[in-house]
Amino acid sequence: RMLHETPSALAPVLLGVSCLCLAEAFRLGTHARPFRSSAPSHPPSLSPCLSHPSSFITSHAATGTQIAPTDAERTAHEPADTDAALDPLGVDEQQRLKSDAEKYLLNNYGARNLLLTEGRGATVYDASGKAYIDFGAGIAVNALGHSDLGWYSALMDQASKLSHTSNLYLTQPQIDLAKKLVQLAPFASKVFFCNSGTEANEAAIKFARKLALSKARKGLLGKAKKVNFVAFEKSFHGRTMGALTVTSKKKIRDPFAPLMGGDVTFCPWNDLKEAKRAIDGDTCAVFVEPVQGEGGVNPADVGFLKGLRELCDKSGAVLVFDEVQCGLGRTGKLWGHQHAGVSPDIMTLAKPLAGGLPIGAVLMTEEVASAIEPGDHGSTFAGNPLVCAVANYVVNAVSSPEFLSGIESKGRHLRERLAAVEGGRIKDTRGEGLLIGVVFDSADEVNKIKQTCEDRGLLVLTAGEGQVVRLAPPLNIPMEQLDRGIDILEHAIKELG
């Protein structure tokens, strides 16, 4: 019919397209992987003539008006334990890859024995096809698990339109994401995008310093210098020079001294009295994680955060909440600081924001934003439309009240299960939502537990000085799969004797 109603000059073109479409349909029908009722198969690759996602996936997935799937809808696609990996690798190929890794990759991460090839929901698969329940989620990054269909839809839809432009130009996904974040964080007026949590904290340092300079130029500081920082013991804000300066762990700080100029005082965690001694008129900013992640999963006391807010208001220091790990739903509330009912001047975000793609964000008050001028900071890749489109989808999904309520209930269930573990090996269980730390006597015990869990199909993280098992599963993990993971962890603890 199309050929009959089309001018003769276009008929050969449409005929060719029709043939390609038929060939593609045949290819997919004969070679595509079978759909599994318990989990979505990996979307098949399409030939160029059919590569536009709107022809086979949900359209408008990355727009500001997109309606995110509910928690129940998304977890309906979680894989069962019986799901095998689709493409296990042969022994020779595994050995080749591990040999190449040792030969070509810098050994800054230490030994990495597992070679992962696939992931679906809260399950990942190694190169041999063995399945693992993922209680690490890429270190609290994969908020919606692996291979989420809506995530994939948002990625492919934007990739077919525009992937990168630099920040010389405006793009809709970046604008939509900034608007969404500001609307969800009432203290904020503006957003700066970057590529990681470390970069976000670097930017926060610069913005705090620039605000102080702006005030000094207006004669508002008197003799105060406002170049110093206050942070806390067990803190972790990143590994680049500025972020490392406000990170307390000497093991990762000392090899790179001297760090950033200006004094940095590390106060004991949750010690408001010591913080009061340290914060004064020369303090530029105070950096604090509402829930410390790397330091051992240590929640801040409500009174501690409220007291820091008062001290910063009195001294004129900028209060920075690092929510790179604990933000965006991880604690059962959208922002970790909401548990204390206080707001920062700057909040840094990253890990779960794009559900697996590199992105960071700095949210700030109007006062901070007003001090920043063109040229003060920037990044070539920051806020690119591809990553922002995916982040729009993730934020839509995670910020729904139903989704956050599910995180809170699963976190409560997780803590109740851990409290019932017998044997006396667990010394403490702490955290919020689905960011939980299980404390043991030693790193040696934790290493044994971690290995036993891995052998039985569960991946966990560590924290603190190695004596804490850190649990940070995908936020949409089904309760039944959460329970199976806890069963494995409980068995590993009991194997200690």
CATH number at residue 470: 3.90.1150.10
Is the torsion defined by CA of 469, 474, 475, 479 positive or negative?
Answer: negative
Beta carbons within 10 angstroms of residue 162's beta carbon: 15
Regarding whether 412 and 336 lie in a shared domain, the answer is no
Domain boundary among 398, 417, 434: 398
Q: How many CA atoms lie within 13 A of 477 on its CB side?
A: 34
Regarding whether 390 and 427 lie in a shared domain, the answer is no
| Rounded distance between C-alpha atoms, residue 304 and residue 308, angstroms | 6
In a domain, 265, yes or no: yes
pLDDT for the residue numbered 6 = 45
* pLDDT band of 87, cuts 50, 70, 90: confident
pLDDT for the residue numbered 27 = 40
Beta carbons within 10 angstroms of residue 422's beta carbon: 9
3-state secondary structure of 61: coil
Regarding whether 430 and 378 lie in a shared domain, the answer is no
Regarding whether 248 and 139 lie in a shared domain, the answer is no
pLDDT for the residue numbered 42 = 45
Domain boundary among 381, 398, 415: 398
Beta carbons within 10 angstroms of residue 307's beta carbon: 20
Residue 246 has pLDDT above 50, yes or no: yes
Evaluate whether 323 touches 329 at the Cβ level (below 8 Å). Answer: no
Q: Which amino acid is at 379?
A: S
Q: Is the peptide bond before 401 cis (omega within 30 degrees of 0)?
A: no
* pLDDT band of 374, cuts 50, 70, 90: very high
Domain boundary among 398, 415, 432: 398
Angle of helix 385-398 relative to helix 149-159, nearest 10 degrees, comes to: 150
Residue 56 has pLDDT above 80, yes or no: no
Regarding whether 484 and 341 lie in a shared domain, the answer is no
| Rounded distance between C-alpha atoms, residue 198 and residue 348, angstroms | 9
Mean of the per-residue pLDDT values of the chain: 87
| Rounded distance between C-alpha atoms, residue 399 and residue 421, angstroms | 32
| Rounded distance between C-alpha atoms, residue 127 and residue 91, angstroms | 9
| Secondary structure E strands in 268-369 | 283-288, 291-292, 298-299, 318-322, 346-349, 360-364
| Rounded distance between C-alpha atoms, residue 340 and residue 303, angstroms | 8
Name residue, tokens 């009295």. 273
Residue 64 has pLDDT above 80, yes or no: no
Tally the domains of the chain.
2
pLDDT for the residue numbered 497 = 77
- What is the chain's alpha carbon radius of gyration, rounded to the nearest angstrom? 25
Regarding whether 310 and 205 lie in a shared domain, the answer is yes
Give the residue-averaged pLDDT of 93-100.
Answer: 95
Q: How many CA atoms lie within 13 A of 438 on its CB side?
A: 29
In a domain, 490, yes or no: yes
132-174: pLDDT as tens digits: 999 999 999 999 999 999 999 999 999 999 999 999 999 999 9
CA–CA distance from 247 to each of 230, 283, 348 (Å)? 10, 16, 15
In a domain, 278, yes or no: yes
| Rounded distance between C-alpha atoms, residue 40 and residue 17, angstroms | 29
Range of the domain at 129: 91-146+401-494
In a domain, 21, yes or no: no
Regarding whether 336 and 222 lie in a shared domain, the answer is yes
Regarding whether 418 and 359 lie in a shared domain, the answer is no
In a domain, 76, yes or no: no
295-311: pLDDT as tens digits: 999 999 999 999 999 99
Report the candidate in 497, 496, 460, 487 with the shortest Cα–Cα distance to residue 135.
Answer: 460
Regarding whether 421 and 384 lie in a shared domain, the answer is no
In a domain, 23, yes or no: no
The CATH number linked to 266 is 3.40.640.10
Angle of helix 385-398 relative to helix 172-184, nearest 10 degrees, comes to: 30
| Rounded distance between C-alpha atoms, residue 216 and residue 354, angstroms | 37
In a domain, 345, yes or no: yes
Give the residue-averaged pLDDT of 22-45.
Answer: 39
pLDDT for the residue numbered 224 = 84
In a domain, 476, yes or no: yes
Regarding whether 322 and 391 lie in a shared domain, the answer is yes
| Secondary structure E strands in 289-396 | 291-292, 298-299, 318-322, 346-349, 360-364
* pLDDT band of 261, cuts 50, 70, 90: confident
Regarding whether 233 and 113 lie in a shared domain, the answer is no
Regarding whether 446 and 347 lie in a shared domain, the answer is no
Give the residue-averaged pLDDT of 364-375.
Answer: 98
262-292: pLDDT as tens digits: 899 999 999 999 999 999 999 999 999 999 9
